[in-house]
A = this chain, B = another copy of it.
Amino acid sequence: MSTAEETAGGDTQPWGEVTPDAARRLLLAAVEAFAERGYHATTTRDIAGRAGMSPAALYIHYKTKEELLHRISRIGHEKALDILRTASGGDGAATERLADAVSSFVRWHARGRTTARVVQYELDSLGPDARAEIVGLRRQVDAEVRGIIEDGVRSGEFDVPDVPGTTLAVLSLCIDVARWFNVDGPRTPEEVGALYADLVLRMVGAGAAATS
């Protein structure tokens, strides 16, 4: 099984595409520090220390703390978009593609919950330019899910009175997995992914359409 979120990487092998290695280690340290203490309570000195580097070494790679948050947020959103585009561009019917999108997106949020929390909860800490870029990526994320739902409505697979509202709810349900998911809890990321795919198909009336 080679799903989109495995290509993009969970918390197990994160930020593989960031080079050189020092820049990657600093991003990882920043994610951990922001998640533990919050963006505003974290200093660049804290981040450098966690990565086993000096503050001067950090400045070679990142000019400011905000640049670190911006990089984390951009990479996180680009991975989210990758996962949803892969699911959306699949060969199957809308029902299959929506189930794939939801289960992949949920697994990624469960596995990468530390990063996802930073990306989601520290959005207001970005400056106006960085924020505008991220908002643009979020619109594309939204468009991928909306596109699958629209396909299903057109093909008669789905019955959805409010497509934008349902799109919002589907994404919200997946994103909030990063808040509550617990590795010591009773469900694996795969089990939550399967449960949520089923619940979302019910939300879009896929079962009702199939049985009517």
Contact = CB atoms under 8 A, between A and B. Distances in A.
Interface in A1-53: 37-41
Interface stretch (A126-134, A145-153, A175-183): A175-183
Contacts of A199: 166, 169, 203
Contact of A196 (B38, B169, B196, B208): B169
A154 interface: no
A139 B192 CA distance: 19
A184 to B, nearest CB: 14
A91 interface: no
Contact of A172 (B38, B168, B173, B198): B173
Interface residues of chain A: helix, strand, loop or mixed (majority): helix
A137 interface: no
Interface string A44-79: 000000000000000000000000000000000000
Nearest to A165: B195
The interface size bin for chain A is 20 to 34
Contacts of A166: 195, 199
A204 to B, nearest CB: 8
Contact of A162 (B38, B121, B195): B195
Nearest to A162: B195
Contact of A187 (B37, B165, B173, B207): B165
A98 to B, nearest CB: 14
Given A166-B199, A172-B180, A211-B212, 12 more contacts: A37-B38, A38-B41, A40-B40, A120-B179, A162-B195, A169-B195, A172-B173, A173-B173, A175-B179, A176-B176, A199-B203, A202-B205
7 contacts: A41-B41, A161-B198, A165-B192, A166-B195, A166-B199, A169-B199, A176-B179
